[in-house]
Structure formats: C-alpha cells, structure tokens
Amino acid sequence: MSLKDSYESYRKNGIFFVITGPSGVGKTTIMDHTLESDERLAYSISHTTRDRRPEEVDGEDYYFVDREEFEGFRKEDRFLEWAEIYGDYYGTSREEIDRIKREGRDPFLDIDVQGAAQLRADPSVNPVFVFLAPPSLEELERRIDNRGAESPEVKEKRMGVAREELSRIPEFDYLIVNEKLKRAVEELEAVIKAERLKV
C-alpha cells in the first residue's frame, strides 16, 4: 500500500454535518453559500407535511408528503429523526442519508434542536453537530421582522423557541455566531475542512 493510500484509509468518509439554529438566524443562506463552494457536500432533503411555498420544489427543498404517508414511514422506522414543528411533521429518512453516502459525499442537514437530539441518541449515525447562533436576541428579532409575513403570535412563539434552543448549545460540537455572513460561512467551511482532516 502506498503512503497516499494509507492516508486515505485513515480518513473518514461520508461525514454527516448537522446544522441547527433558531429560525431566522440565517441557516439557509449560510448553508447555500457553503454548498455552492463544496461539491462533496450534499444537502439532505427532508420529508415534510407542511404546505409547499410557491418558490419551493418537491424533491429539491423537501419531499412533500401527506400526513398518512409520513406516519407510514414513521411506523416502518424509516426516519432517522422526525419532529412536529408548529403543527407540521418534518423528518430525515435513513434512505436519504444512505443515498448521499453511497455517492461518496457528505450529507448536510438543516435540523431543529429536537431532531438533533434524536440523531445524537441514535448510535447508527455519528454526525458533526454545528449550532448557528445569532449575535443577540434583539438581532434575531430584527431578522425575523425583516422577513415579514409573520403574525405577532408566531413571532413570539419563534422567539420563545429560540431562547430554549440557545440554552442547548452545550450539547453541540461547534458554535458559530452569525454576526457577519462572510465570517460565518468561512467558519463553517473551516469546520468542514477540519473534520475531513480527522484521523
């Protein structure tokens, strides 16, 4: 075996990166930037029962399914994790993660704190958990406001959930604070690069 082959044998393959953070923190923007510059990453598409937004594509943003189908998957234990959020179901299928790993790529998943806790409890996967945090609660509120289209009740609910989520940062492997987008993207990229250099 050449030295290069032995180096390869020390590396991990199919590293599962899990990104969590409060709604409004900028997860999607940061993940999109990172996905664009990194062909080895593959966005893990979740199943959901929530309504498709006009700009969303089935099989690209989510696999949109009805409650009956979702519950069938659950009963067959086909979800690595699932959660009910604001009345809708979201889940990550084992098939989705296996498919990405079979392609020789690294699954990249956007998930909430509940889902992350389920993944942590499952010994069949060993993800790298990254928490994306806002610089302050005031800034998070401002970002949620800027998105618009939220009722005061939904906004208050989101802020409450955010406070609860932030208290669970110690359960994560890495903490990235999204103060400046460019810096947060660079930090996420450094985490991904470093994990791939692990023996």
Give the type of residue at 89: Y
Give the DSSP per-residue string, 57-118.
-BTTTEEE--HHHHHHHHHTT-EEEEEEETTEEEEEEHHHHHHHHHTT-EEEEE--HHHHHH
CB of 7 to a copy of itself, least distance (A): 6
Q: How far is CA 172 from CA 38, 60, 117, 130, 146, in A?
A: 23, 27, 10, 6, 28
Q: Which is nearer to a copy of itself, 16 or 90 (CB)?
A: 16
Taking the alpha carbons of 71, 56, 192, 13 in that order, is the dihedral positive or negative?
positive
Answer yes or no whether residue 194 interacts with a copy of itself by CB under 8 A.
yes
x/- track of binding to a copy of itself for residues 154-183 (CB under 8 A):
------------x--xx-xxxxxx------
Q: Exactly one of 137, 154, 160, 164 binds a copy of itself (CB under 8 A); which one? A: 137
- 6-65: contacts with a copy of itself (CB under 8 A): 6-7, 10-11
Answer yes or no whether residue 126 interacts with a copy of itself by CB under 8 A.
no
Answer yes or no whether residue 195 interacts with a copy of itself by CB under 8 A.
yes
| Cα distance between residue 41 and residue 35, in whole Å | 6
Residues that bind a copy of itself (CB under 8 A): 2-4, 6-7, 10-11, 131, 133-137, 166, 169-170, 172-177, 186-187, 189-191, 193-195, 197-199
